[in-house]
């Protein structure tokens, strides 16, 4: 069958967010003999991206730097352009199937389908994009954007033919938005174990945590909606008991300046290392050099359905995780098996769970080994992407559309 996959993030090189998921999905479609076309922003030529993925064509979309200071106004300019580009691609290609990552791309697919009614639309719903914009600004213009964005998001969720989402919790949220439960399937996020595995990170530890008793790592985009300030508040309590503990924040984002200010205010400069943005292939070295991996999310609607990539990447490197007690994360991790949980927003509880792991080396080892086993059994991208593709094949067959698989 002819497939168009769309994502409004930079897919080459992988930029985090939904790009590992969509990257794996494209490769699985190609491997199963489908004709695959892609629409995304890229930092290479279209020809190079096509060769890298083995797809038929690439529609270049407008990218926005996720770490930029003015990213929200830029999104407001880029998204309408990208929506129209996706709609035009659907009309031109007339695909049997359009898989769109998250609601804005999904809305573009719905617009295009008006002229290509045979195209089946699948919304890959991993996040609610308009639930946390208020963390960026309190201005009236943003309230108007949020109102319009929620209408768009509702339309994508309600009018897409099928939804594949990342957790039972997010499935429940989609149903609350008005989607039909029988039209929703769950395929969790995962990890590429060819990229994320145990490596020798001793050089990094010697360079950035010399003399530290323990290293704790948090990586990825560091933005205000995820409440990263909780890390600093918890670290202050941890360092009171473990003076030589070192916290690595590997990544960048709009929240970093405020975090650095708080680190300075609390006199924790010697206990923190901010790496800035690093490429995906470097991250396993930071994780492998660490003793504990951290995930921070607030107890808000969007976060309750999200399954971050972080815990899978920690586990793939044999590192235990400390996770917020949220519904989606509790689906993929059992208490005391590969992770320990803390109450979201509670710095004291987070510090307590961190200290427990720092003081119990046997527990860290046991949780890390269990996490590695869980990843290999359940959360490797190759298996998950194949599961997603088989679902899509069934959707198209069930719709009566023509499908050819070599």
Per-residue pLDDT at 301: 87
Q: What is the pLDDT averaged over residues 126-131?
A: 80
The domain total for the chain is: 2
Per-residue pLDDT at 52: 95
Per-residue pLDDT at 405: 36
Tens digits of residue pLDDT in 290-319 = 999 999 999 988 899 998 999 999 999 999
Per-residue pLDDT at 64: 67
Instruction: For residue 315, give the nearest of 334, 338, 297 by alpha carbon.
Output: 338
Average pLDDT for the chain: 91
Residues 67 and 180 in one domain: yes
Residues 10 and 149 in one domain: yes
Q: What is the pLDDT averaged over residues 351-379?
A: 96
Torsion of CA 161, 164, 168, 174, to 10 degrees: -40
Per-residue pLDDT at 191: 96
Residues 235 and 384 in one domain: no
Residue 219 covered by a domain: yes
User: CA torsion sign, 61 to 65 to 69 to 71?
Assistant: positive
Residues 147 and 274 in one domain: no
Report residue 402's pLDDT band, with 50, 70 and 90 as the boundaries. very low
Per-residue pLDDT at 334: 86
Backbone angles phi, psi at 285, to 5 degrees: -70, -40
Residues 175 and 26 in one domain: yes
Task: Round to whole Å and give the CA distance between 340 and 46.
Answer: 43
Residues 23 and 170 in one domain: yes
Tens digits of residue pLDDT in 192-243 = 999 999 999 999 999 999 999 999 999 998 988 899 999 999 999 999 999 9
Task: Round to whole Å and give the CA distance between 96 and 103.
Answer: 19
Residues 26 and 86 in one domain: yes
**Is 82:59 a contact under the CB 8 Å cutoff?**
no
Helix (H, G, I), strand (E, B) or coil at 206: helix
Percent pLDDT > 90 in the chain is: 79
Q: Say yes or no to pLDDT of 401 above 50.
A: no
Residues 275 and 354 in one domain: yes
Q: Say yes or no to pLDDT of 136 above 60.
A: no
Residue 405 covered by a domain: no
The domain that holds 148 is classified in CATH as 3.40.50.2000
Report residue 67's pLDDT band, with 50, 70 and 90 as the boundaries. low
Residue 115 covered by a domain: yes
Other CB atoms within 10 A of residue 84 CB: 13
Residue 355 covered by a domain: yes
Q: Say yes or no to pLDDT of 370 above 60.
A: yes
Concatenating the DSSP letter of every residue in 275-322 gives EE---GGGHHHHHHT-SEEE----SSHHHHH---SHHHHHHHTT--EE
Per-residue pLDDT at 71: 58
Residues 276 and 386 in one domain: no
In terms of residue numbers, what domain contains 355?
202-378
Indicate whether this model's pTM tops 0.85.
yes
């Amino acid at each position: 069958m002819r497939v168009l996959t769309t994502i409004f993030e930079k897919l080459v090189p992988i930029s985090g967010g939904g790009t590992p998921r969509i990257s794996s999905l494209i490769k699985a479609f190609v491997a199963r003999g489908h004709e695959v076309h892609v629409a995304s922003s890229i930092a290479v030529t279209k020809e190079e991206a096509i060769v890298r993925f083995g797809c038929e064509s690439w529609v270049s979309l407008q990218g926005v730097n996720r770490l930029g200071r003015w990213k929200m106004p830029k999104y407001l300019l880029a998204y309408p352009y990208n929506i129209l580009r996706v709609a035009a691609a659907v009309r031109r290609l007339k695909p049997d199937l359009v898989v769109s990552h998250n609601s804005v791309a999904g809305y573009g697919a719905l617009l295009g389908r008006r002229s290509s009614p045979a195209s089946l639309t699948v919304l890959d719903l991993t996040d609610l994009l308009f639930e946390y914009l208020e963390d960026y600004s309190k201005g009236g213009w943003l309230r108007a954007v949020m109102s319009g964005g929620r209408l768009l998001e509702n339309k994508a969720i309600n009018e897409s033919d099928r939804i594949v989402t990342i957790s039972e919790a997010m499935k429940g949220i989609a149903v609350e938005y008005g989607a039909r439960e029988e039209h929703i399937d769950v395929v969790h996020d995962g990890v590429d174990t060819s990229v994320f595995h145990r490596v020798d990170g001793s050089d990094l530890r010697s360079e950035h945590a010399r003399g530290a008793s323990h290293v704790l790592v948090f990586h990825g985009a560091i933005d205000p909606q995820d409440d990263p300030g909780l890390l600093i508040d918890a670290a202050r309590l941890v360092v009171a008991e473990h003076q030589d503990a070192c916290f690595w924040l590997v990544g960048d984002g709009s929240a970093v300046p405020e975090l650095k200010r708080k680190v300075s205010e609390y006199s924790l400069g010697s206990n923190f290392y901010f790496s800035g943005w690093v490429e995906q292939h470097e991250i396993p070295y930071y994780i492998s050099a660490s003793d504990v991996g951290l995930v921070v999310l607030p107890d808000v609607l969007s976060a309750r359905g999200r399954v971050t990539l972080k815990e899978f990447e920690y586990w793939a490197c044999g590192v235990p995780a400390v996770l917020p007690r949220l519904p989606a994360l509790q689906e993929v991790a059992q208490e005391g098996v590969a992770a320990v949980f803390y109450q979201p927003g509670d710095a004291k509880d987070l510090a307590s769970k961190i200290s427990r792991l720092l003081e119990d080396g046997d527990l860290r080892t046991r949780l890390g080994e269990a996490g590695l086993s869980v990843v290999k059994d359940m959360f490797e991208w190759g298996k998950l992407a194949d599961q997603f593709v088989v679902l899509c094949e069934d959707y198209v067959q069930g719709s009566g559309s023509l499908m050819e698989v070599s």
